[in-house]
């Protein structure tokens, strides 16, 4: 079903798919994915049934952080292709009912962006104020704020006697949103992409743009909502433009504001409260603990109820920064297929716009590499910091296996052949050996594959209004193994039941009415009890 994308709200019936271009499909043998590669896989994506592609950054970049460090917002990174390739991709995708959603990195630029090269030249330079500077001396930083990737958030420029602020790597200087000229330039740049025909934008760390470093404020600065409203008015003028902001700090009240139904700010945000549930309280993401299912249920319920009338949810379990979900909350051993389908069922039955991260629809898993095989700067910084702080190398490697971002970034597994059909050259990051049995070719040929299960979930969302509108009711909140909920409209009832454990669970406490029809399930035969990682969706 093709959606009318000129109207606000079309994304409420849509499913999006995230592509990490570096790892999707290489066509010229340099070991790095490219735009032509994405073009060559549009048939595959059309078959899956998605409505839009969130494309991780493809703009010109020194690639210190794989494109999240942009040096020219209006040009394409040559290893990915040309502007013509990009235009062709937008055009061909549109013909298949697929919108391209660009990744906008507006919190910071690359230190190689002409603005920053100018800004460094002197305090009087017109671009100086495009960035966040504070006076200091070599041995005295403005304050002791740290950066997300380790080390201080300040880097000294001796010629100026000043420090610039960077929430991420030193090669990612923060832009100064207090400067109206900078904001105008960003809005103009956004219009450039709207004119090229993109369908919307994913906004990188958008809650961090209004920082006030002097007060240690990074996320949710006092002018944040003002900036978002202005950007929405001036840059996202067409009502069909979909916007999704990445907001690590979002709680329900903030998300209600970000995604309020009047469309004044954003269509929706990525919130991360569910993602942090298996992290030791007060510690870093590397310090893991097992997921306690009732916590996940309460968290999802809070978001489902909180944004039901006021706002809109995005639904996701994976992205390019997160480990693979089957290796995390599922089982990447004997129940890999069952648990991949179960997790998808839990998520896709909810209200919101689901996002599938490349390879999730195949049940791709985490990987374990030698330290020197990893490419992500965050992994290498972590290793250096933690071993220096007294952790054993083995302890640090375990954290990397569990949470390292390269888990998600290994090349897409297309075939069982050499390099999984990703490249004819040397892949920039190793291909997972399990491509011998986890690959798209095998999945397409097998009607019971994870791929076809996702395809059916997407189809169901388009067939039954209850997926979009149904009110959420959590069942069995305290059950440590079973996640069950209802979605209800006047006309339809949807019941979703998921077994998060590798043991059989009783269904006795859930009443399935006689007239309920099994819409979808991940086991072929009927059974009374719930089998390991079993998932069912009933409709009546
Ligand atoms: C976001 C991106 C991540 C990137 C960071 C800095 O969190 O998803 O990949 O490293 O922002 O741009």
- Per-10-residue mean pLDDT for the chain, 540 residues long? 89 97 98 98 98 98 97 98 98 98 98 98 98 97 96 97 98 98 98 98 98 97 98 96 98 97 96 98 96 98 97 98 98 98 98 98 98 97 97 98 98 98 98 98 98 98 97 98 98 98 96 96 94 98
Phi, psi of 217 (to 5 degrees): -100, 120
Rounded distance from Cα 436 to ligand 1 centre (Å): 31
Q: What is the predicted pLDDT for the residue at 526?
A: 87
Active site residue 229: no
Q: What is the predicted pLDDT for the residue at 412?
A: 98
Q: Of 18, 19, 20, 65, which is best to mutate to test ligand 1, by the most ligand atoms within 8 angstroms of its C-beta?
A: 65
Q: In whole angstroms, give the CA distance from residue 531 to residue 529.
A: 6
Q: Check if the beta carbon of residue 452 is closer than 8 Å to that of residue 446.
A: yes
Q: What is the predicted pLDDT for the residue at 319?
A: 98
Q: In whole angstroms, give the CA distance from residue 442 to residue 446.
A: 6
- Residue 32, token pair as written in the block: 């790095």
- Give the dihedral of Cα atoms 22, 438, 374, 66; nearest 10 deg: 20
Active site residue 174: no
The Cβ of residue 215 has, within 10 Å, a number of other Cβ atoms equal to 10
Rounded distance from Cα 66 to ligand 1 centre (Å): 9
Phi, psi of 228 (to 5 degrees): -65, -40
Coil, helix or strand for 100? strand
- Does ligand 1 lie within 6 Å of residue 80's CB atom? no
The Cβ of residue 99 has, within 10 Å, a number of other Cβ atoms equal to 25
Query: DSSP assignment, residue 76?
Result: E
Q: What is the predicted pLDDT for the residue at 170?
A: 98
* CB burial string 440-468: b at 16+ within 10 A, e below: bebbbeeeebbbbbbbbbbebbbebebbb
Residue labelled with tokens 């570096």: 22
- Residue 328, token pair as written in the block: 């995390």
Q: Measured between alpha carbons, how far apart are the two ends of the chain, in Å? A: 23
Of 26, 34, 103, 204, the catalytic one is: 204
* CB burial string 159-194: b at 16+ within 10 A, e below: ebebbbbbbbbbbbbbbbbbbeebbebbbebbeebb
Q: In whole angstroms, give the CA distance from residue 472 to residue 184.
A: 41
- Residue 102, token pair as written in the block: 């660009």
Of 65, 69, 207, 246, the catalytic one is: 246
Composition of the chain by helix, strand, coil, percent to 5: 35, 20, 50
Rounded distance from Cα 58 to ligand 1 centre (Å): 14
Q: What is the predicted pLDDT for the residue at 141?
A: 97
- Residue 520, token pair as written in the block: 């979808």
- Does ligand 1 lie within 6 Å of residue 69's CB atom? no
Q: What is the predicted pLDDT for the residue at 282?
A: 94
- Does ligand 1 lie within 6 Å of residue 205's CB atom? yes
Q: Check if the beta carbon of residue 98 is closer than 8 Å to that of residue 48.
A: no
Q: What is the predicted pLDDT for the residue at 189?
A: 98
Rounded distance from Cα 267 to ligand 1 centre (Å): 20
Q: What is the predicted pLDDT for the residue at 2?
A: 77
- Selected from 3.90.1300.10, 3.20.20.80, 3.10.20.30, 3.40.1800.10, the CATH number assigned to the domain covering 10-107+177-367+410-455 reads 3.20.20.80
Question: Per CATH, which fold does 114-165 belong to?
Answer: Oligo-1,6-glucosidase; domain 2 (3.90.400)
The CATH 3.20.20.80 portion of the chain extends over: 10-107+177-367+410-455
The CATH 3.90.400.10 portion of the chain extends over: 114-165
Q: Check if the beta carbon of residue 249 is closer than 8 Å to that of residue 219.
A: yes
Q: In whole angstroms, give the CA distance from residue 96 to residue 199.
A: 13
């Amino acid at each position: 079903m093709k959606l009318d994308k000129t109207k606000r709200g079309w994304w409420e019936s849509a499913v999006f798919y995230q592509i990490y271009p570096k790892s999707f499909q290489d066509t010229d043998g340099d070991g790095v994915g490219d735009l032509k590669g994405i073009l060559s896989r549009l048939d595959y994506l059309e078959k899956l049934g998605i409505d839009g592609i969130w494309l991780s950054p493809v703009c010109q970049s020194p690639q210190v952080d794989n494109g999240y460090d942009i040096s020219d917002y209006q040009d394409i990174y040559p290893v990915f292709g040309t502007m013509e390739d990009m235009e062709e991709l937008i055009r061909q995708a549109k013909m298949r009912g697929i919108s391209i959603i660009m990744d906008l990195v507006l919190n910071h630029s690359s230190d190689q962006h002409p603005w920053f090269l100018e800004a460094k030249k002197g305090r009087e330079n017109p671009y100086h104020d495009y960035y966040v500077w504070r006076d200091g001396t070599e041995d005295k930083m403005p304050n002791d704020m740290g950066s997300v990737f380790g080390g201080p958030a300040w880097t000294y420029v001796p010629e100026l006697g000043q420090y610039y602020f960077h929430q991420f790597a030193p090669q990612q200087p923060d832009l100064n949103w207090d400067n109206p000229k900078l904001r105008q330039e960003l809005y103009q740049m956004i219009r450039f992409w709207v004119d090229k025909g993109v369908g919307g934008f994913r906004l990188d760390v958008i809650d961090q743009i209004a920082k006030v470093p002097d007060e240690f404020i990074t996320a949710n600065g006092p002018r944040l909502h003002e900036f978002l409203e202005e950007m929405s008015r001036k840059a996202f003028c067409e009502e069909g433009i979909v916007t999704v902001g990445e907001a690590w700090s979002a709680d329900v009240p903030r998300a209600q504001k970000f995604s309020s139904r009047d469309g004044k700010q954003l269509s929706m945000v990525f919130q991360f409260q569910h993602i942090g549930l298996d992290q030791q309280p007060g510690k870093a993401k590397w310090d893991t603990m097992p997921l306690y299912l009732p916590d996940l249920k309460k968290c999802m319920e809070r978001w489902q109820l909180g944004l039901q009338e006021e706002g809109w949810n995005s639904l996701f379990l994976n992205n390019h920064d997160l480990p693979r979900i089957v290796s995390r909350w599922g089982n990447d051993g004997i129940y890999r297929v069952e648990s991949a389908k179960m997790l998808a069922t839990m998520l896709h039955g909810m209200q919101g716009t689901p996002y599938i991260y490349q390879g999730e629809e195949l049940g791709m898993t985490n990987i374990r590499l030698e330290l020197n095989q990893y490419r992500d700067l965050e992994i290498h910084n972590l290793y250096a910091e933690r071993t220096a702080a007294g952790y054993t190398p083995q302890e640090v490697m375990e954290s990397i296996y569990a949470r390292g971002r390269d888990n998600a970034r290994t090349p897409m597994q297309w075939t069982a052949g050499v390099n999984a059909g990703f490249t004819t050259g040397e892949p920039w990051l190793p291909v997972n050996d399990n491509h011998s049995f986890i690959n798209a070719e095998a999945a397409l040929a097998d009607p019971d594959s994870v791929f076809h299960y996702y395809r059916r979930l997407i189809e169901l969302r388009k067939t039954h209004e209850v997926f979009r509108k149904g009110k959420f009711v959590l069942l069995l909140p305290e059950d440590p193994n079973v996640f069950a909920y209802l979605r209800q409209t006047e006309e339809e009832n949807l019941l979703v039941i998921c077994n998060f454990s590798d043991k059989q669970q009783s269904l006795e406490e859930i009443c399935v009415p006689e007239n309920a029809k099994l819409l979808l399930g991940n086991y072929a035969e009927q059974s009374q009890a719930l089998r390991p990682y079993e998932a069912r969706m009933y409709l009546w």
